[in-house]
Amino acid sequence: MTPQDNMLEIFRQAGKSPSHTGGSAGGPFGGAGDEGLASHGGGGNGLNGLVLLGSIGIAFILGIAVGKQLFGPGNPAEAAASEARDERDSLEEVRREESADPEQGTASPLYDPALRFTVVVAAYGNTETQTVYAWNTHDHLAAAGFEVFPPLGTGARIVVLAGAAATSDELASLQLRIRALAGWNGTDGAFGDAYIERIDKLIDR
């Protein structure tokens, strides 16, 4: 039974006139006169009760309607915000999985045993916020035309790697170009600490 049905049932019960017994026999003012006075007083109380219950019922129904409008699943603003959060969380989950999994496919230069060195562009902490920064760096270098690999989880760190070569000398020019590049947020010298490292020290292959 809905709240509206409950209120209608209450209204019907309140509208019923209470039964009354007649006055004492033999009294000069007994009989129908007392019953008439009792019926009149009962009718007034019933009407007042009906008005009070009606006011409460209207307020109750309006409260339900307003609550559904403000907080219900049909609220457009809340639905849009929820959808945006779900999309953001889904994207971050995919990125975390990619960065946590060093397997980028056997075609990746990082897994070519003939290539022994790479440039560590930057290292970040293994947290959600730092993962976002690592991906910002990756996207920034990719947009600038560098050969950059997806952020790679290595223990407590997430590193962004660029290039792969058989010798460290082959990466010297790339290292200098990366060091001269401004950061994704416009900071000069953001990658000034970029260094050349052995790939085998970063991943198992």
Q: How far apart are CA 146 and CA 158, in angstroms?
A: 19
Mean pLDDT score across all residues of the chain: 74
Flag whether pLDDT at 75 surpasses 70: no
Higher pLDDT, 68 or 142: 142
Q: How far is CA 37 from CA 21, 28, 40, 45, 194, in A?
A: 11, 15, 5, 13, 101
Where residue 38 falls among pLDDT bands split at 50, 70, 90? Answer: very low
Flag whether pLDDT at 106 surpasses 60: no
Strands 157-165 vs 195-198: parallel, antiparallel or unpaired: unpaired
Q: How far apart are CA 123 and CA 202, in angstroms?
A: 12
Q: How far apart are CA 164 and CA 148, in angstroms?
A: 9
Where residue 59 falls among pLDDT bands split at 50, 70, 90? Answer: confident
Where residue 155 falls among pLDDT bands split at 50, 70, 90? Answer: confident
Tokens at 70, concatenated? 């403000």
Where residue 205 falls among pLDDT bands split at 50, 70, 90? Answer: confident
pTM above 0.75, yes or no: no
